[in-house]
Amino acid sequence: MPPVFQTPMKRATLTAMLALAVVLPATAQAQLAETPIAQEHGGTLVATYGGWLVWSSYDQSSESWSLVGRAPGSSSIQGLQLASRPIPFDVDLGPDSSGRTVAVYSRCQIEPVARGQTFASYWHRFGRDCRIVKLDLGTGRESTLYRRSGASLIYPTLWRDRLAYVVRGRLPDDLHLEQRVRRDGRTVTTKLGRAPAEETESPYAGPLRLDLYGKNLVFAWQTEVGRCRGPSATDDGRGPFFVSRVYLQRGNLPRRLLDKGCSEDGRTGAVASVDAVTVSDGVVNWVRGTRSDGPEGATYLRRQSLRTGRSTSRVVPSRYTSLAADGRTVYAQADAFRIVAVRVG
């Protein structure tokens, strides 16, 4: 099976990096309870920071998505006065260099088109000439943050002077992560790794979500493979199957694998998927789905401390397709397009 990323590093370095990919044992706890926030009509990403909560709302009459939000201290949901998109916004919230809460997302010269109402992370990869846009939530002003000729920039995440995003180049095999850091009056751009050519040929393989917290970048990536470890969950046992992984990258240090799953691993209790990763207040949160045809089949909210490495897993009552954490409150899009909140402590 090919690696998720191809980077110009020696084999010994790669081996040492994978040796760090340790998933600590989880502490089993009771199922979390959900608090409903909104009922939507399509799949979306959710984002939160500084008391703000935003997501994309689907308009069935125009078949477009608009950005909506809830301001700090408010319980009412308001539409943000922005142009809509034919796909959900790949939105993330965070502090800018002055500490103001801003939203970042992509806008494309040629926008991709959603295929149905259920969110799919690969939609954004089919836009052309996509730039990164910043929205000041205090003033409502939208401005271009970064663009690059000959490439599309998608799935941005911002933390003060640090910006990470996915680059989709003109060539079919050019799909990679980058990070830009403003330091001492100059900007340093670092390529964090690229997908192998055979992966970019699949419309389903690629990035699932990115999120920054300080120097800590977490991201989920999906790879198409020929088979999974263990018995297949399908009758014929033939692929394609999908391996999903959650990574942590601290600055320019080697990335660390936090968790992984395979879609067609038929063993009871096997991890089938990991995605919807987010990080807040020094804790990484992600969704882990286990094989549903056995007594241990369930969906978990998994949390790991960046400081201690301690992990916990809590059963959630439905499948979460997007997460955003603000302290001990985790927001999610759950089954039937519901936006919900769960308290984790």
Q: Is 138 left (phi over 0), alpha (psi -120 to 50) or beta?
A: alpha
Report which of residues 154 and 27 the model is more confident about: 154
Question: What single DSSP character describes residue 83?
Answer: -
pTM reported for the whole predicted model: 0.85
Mean pLDDT computed over every residue of the chain: 83
Q: How confident is the model at residue 232 (pLDDT cuts 50, 70, 90)?
A: low
Residue 11, in any domain of the structure: no
CA dist 216 and 211 (Å) reads 8
Pick from 219, 218, 216, 222: nearest CA to 195? 222
Q: Which of 107-111, 225-229, 279-283, 321-325 has the lowest mean pLDDT?
A: 225-229
- The pLDDT, as a whole number, for residue 16 is 38
> Residue 256 and residue 246: Cα distance in Å, rounded?
9
Over residues 220-241, the mean pLDDT reads: 68
For residue 2, tell me if it sits in a domain. no
Judge contact between 142 and 134, C-beta under 8 A.
yes
CATH of the domain at 124: 2.120.10.60
Report residue 200: phi and psi, to 5°: -70, -15
| Structural domain includes residue 150 | yes
Highest average pLDDT, of 100-109, 238-247, 270-279, comes from 100-109
- Whether pLDDT at 11 is above 50: no
Q: Which of 11-15, 41-45, 171-175 has the highest mean pLDDT?
A: 41-45
Structure confidence at residue 12 (pLDDT): 39
For residue 278, being part of any structural domain is answered with yes
> 277 to each of 8, 10, 32, 145, 302, how far by Cα in Å?
26, 28, 18, 24, 9
d(CA 313, CA 344): 10
Q: Would you say residue 5 lies in a domain?
A: no
Q: Count, in order, helices (H) and strands (E) of the chain.
A: 2, 25
- With 80 as the cut, is the pLDDT of residue 237 above it? no
Question: What's the whole-number mean pLDDT along residues 253-276?
Answer: 83
pLDDT computed for residue 329 by the predictor: 95
Which secondary-structure segment (H or E) carries 66? strand 64-70
Residue 9 belongs to some domain of the structure = no
DSSP letter string, 132-181: EEEEETTTTEEEEEE--TTEEEEEEEEETTEEEEEEEESSTT-EEEEEEE
Number of residues assigned to the chain: 345
| pLDDT above 70 as % of the chain | 80
pLDDT grade, residue 269 (50/70/90)? Answer: low
Which phi and psi (to 5°) does residue 241 adopt? -115, 165
- pLDDT, average across residues 31-41: 93
Please report whether residue 3 resides in a domain: no
3-state secondary structure of 304: strand
- What pLDDT digit, counting tens, does each position of 93-102 carry? 999 999 999 9
Q: Is residue 99 part of a domain?
A: yes
pLDDT score at 109: 94
**Closest by Cα among 240, 57, 205, 64 to 125:** 205
pLDDT class of 25 with cuts at 50, 70, 90? very low
Range of the domain at 287: 29-343
Amino acid code (one letter) for 29: Q
- Report the pLDDT value the prediction gives residue 169, as an integer from 0 to 100: 82
Whether the predicted pLDDT of 140 surpasses 50: yes
Evaluate whether 244 touches 311 at the Cβ level (below 8 Å): no
The total number of structural domains in the chain stands at: 1
Position 20 pLDDT exceeds 50: no
Q: How far is it, in rounded angstroms, from Cα 299 to Cα 288?
A: 6
